[in-house]
Amino acid sequence: MSVPERNMALELVRATESAAMAAGRWMGRGDKNGADKAAVDAMRFMLNTVEMDGVVVIGEGEKDEAPMLFNGERLGTGSEPQVDIAVDPIDGTRLCALGRPNSVSVVAVGERGAFYDPKHIFYMNKLATGPTAADVIDITIPIEENIARVAKAKNKKPRDVTVVVLDRPRHEKLIAAIRSTGALIRLIPDGDVAGALMTCKEESGIDLLAGVGGSPEAVISAAALKCVGGNLQCMLWPRNEEEAERCGQVGQDLDAVLQLEDLVKGKNVFFAATGVTDGELLKGVRYEGRKIKTTSLVMRAKSGTIRYIEAIHSAEKLREISGVNYEG
């Protein structure tokens, strides 16, 4: 079996740029599916130009009944290397639709069989942090203790630690526990891939991500954190008894902790992200007449290289090449 050795992230970023430029035209229009379809169509076109025999194993859209790059879809030119693909054409579709911060387009690629398959489980409980505290977190202990550990690792006091949490009713007890330590909380409406990555960026001021979010996003976040040296631990979170029973039938242990290596195997892992709307992680798309500006992040686990790419695109020339209309 062939393995990816070249830095594919530099090719994947063309797909996230395309998705972001297409989706950005829908910013603030209030149409999630319209934005998602634009991103999906643009990303699919570009991924099919990459020299790879790719299979989508982590897609987004099924749980939301939205347009999607579906699991099992083959992408690329069909030539080596053989890879698995995890995609989220817009992480934070609602953020884009409402014109809110931190909507990004993301793609991760690994060797065949690298990515964990959550099967029927759409949600996981997550705990993520950056490189400085990567070795001290433990999802099986109370959040109060994790905050204390992260504070010590970062030479802070617990009240200086900032935790990002999805703003959901299910997190009421978690939020109360975090507040009891005096730690700070950043509640986000959506977009926990960006939230997980912000724990690795000092300028963001985020130290931890905690709480229940999507399973596809967990695997994509794990790929990104593996590239940058952070850590992510997860536990399956079935929504009801039927999902819990199904876990037993397919051999999934609800008490097991999924470590970073369980979620994403090996070092041949590549990650690319492009900002759709402005945020702490990346700037959003800028439309300036015939030119479009994008800001992207590309990473490779094997080398540990992290690149920020600012690009200027000609909407007219891209439309001639791809048939995708980025001019709105």
- Residues within the annotated binding site? 36, 60, 88, 91-93, 123, 168-170, 190-192, 214, 217
As annotated, the binding site for substrate includes: 91-93, 123, 168-170, 190-192, 214
What residues contact 65, with CB distance under 8 A and at least 6 apart?
Answer: none
Q: What is the 3-state secondary structure (H, E, C) of 242-300?
A: HHHHHHHHCCCCCCCCECHHHHECCCCEEEEEEECCCCCCCCCCEEECCEEEEEEEEEE
Report d(CA 11, CA 300) in Å as an integer: 12
As annotated, the binding site for Mn(2+) includes: 36, 60, 88, 91, 217
Spatial CA neighbour of 311 closest among 292, 284, 288, 324: 292
Q: Residue 239 phi/psi, 5° resolution?
A: -80, -20
Burial 232-249 (b: 16+ CB within 10 A, else e): bbbbbbbeeeebeeebee
